[in-house]
Amino acid sequence: MLGYGLFVNTIVYAYLSLFGFHERAAELRGLMSKFTVQTAAQHRHVHEGLVVPHKPYYALWSYKVHSNQRFDLLGNSFAVITGMASPTRSRSLITWVESECDALRDRGELAGDLPPCLLPFIRPEDPDWRPRYQLYNNPGDYHNGGIWPFICGFYVVAALAAGHQRLAEEKLVSLAQLVKTSRDKKLAFGFNEWIRAGDGTPGGQDWQTWSAAMYLYAVACVKSGKTIFFA
């Protein structure tokens, strides 16, 4: 990854805020909110940023005239939870995710109610496709749009933080069903690492503690009606 990544900056924003460094957190938030310039020339007075023009979400990464404008569910969910994203942007972001997922389901590319980790999927004709993806990272698999229970836990809480209470409750029910999915059919709960977007089959390893932990966190947040630690 080149330059400025979304997820790492949301982590920095979160710990600055939690430890009371509010001015530094606000400065970082301001820098991330600058528009990325999509021209051949990059002027000194223009800051690189992660806001995508005409979209409600933050870009995956940005560096000078280069950027990756794909949607990263983990980074954007955490931006909503921490309050880095404004209330208006947060509400629009969640609505956008649900609309994109509806379109994927209409095309038969998404099974179930939960969003993939990356939108849109990287396809063989795209410039950021790599030959090894054919074996390990096909569209809708793994990092290329797989459904990660761990990340979906963040999304449930992000929906709650954005004021979509009913949606958060619905997605939590879907997540409760998803964490039952396992490669070992004898398990009552698999807490699998990641699920294939296209058919809902488990693609990773069972009994992942991060999958279990974020499910429990999502349950606690929805039950209390607030984003614990970040309210």
* Predicted local distance difference test score (pLDDT) of residue 42: 44
Residue whose token pair is 């939690």: 18
Dihedral in degrees, nearest 10, Cα atoms 8, 190, 144, 63: 0
- Residue 115: asked if its preceding bond is cis (omega within 30°), the reply is no
Residue whose token pair is 């209390």: 224
* Predicted local distance difference test score (pLDDT) of residue 44: 40
Would the pLDDT of 160 be above 70? yes
DSSP 85-136: S-HHHHHHHHHHHHHHHHHHHHTT---SSSPPSEESPP-TTSTT--TTHHHH
Work out whether strand 118-119 and strand 59-63 pair parallel, antiparallel, or are unpaired.
Answer: unpaired
**Two tokens, residue 78:** 């955490």
Q: Which residues does residue 68 pair with via DSSP β-bridges, in sequence order? A: 61
Rg (CA), the chain: 18
Q: What is the pLDDT of residues 52-90, one digit of tens each?
A: 777 898 888 766 555 677 899 999 999 999 999 999 999
Would the pLDDT of 1 be above 50? no
Would the pLDDT of 38 be above 90? no
* SS3 at position 25: helix
Distance separating alpha carbons of residues 111 and 149, to the nearest angstrom: 14
Distance separating alpha carbons of residues 152 and 222, to the nearest angstrom: 13
* SS3 at position 63: strand
Q: What is the pLDDT of residues 85-141, one digit of tens each?
A: 999 999 999 999 999 999 999 999 999 999 999 999 999 999 889 999 999 899 999
* SS3 at position 12: helix
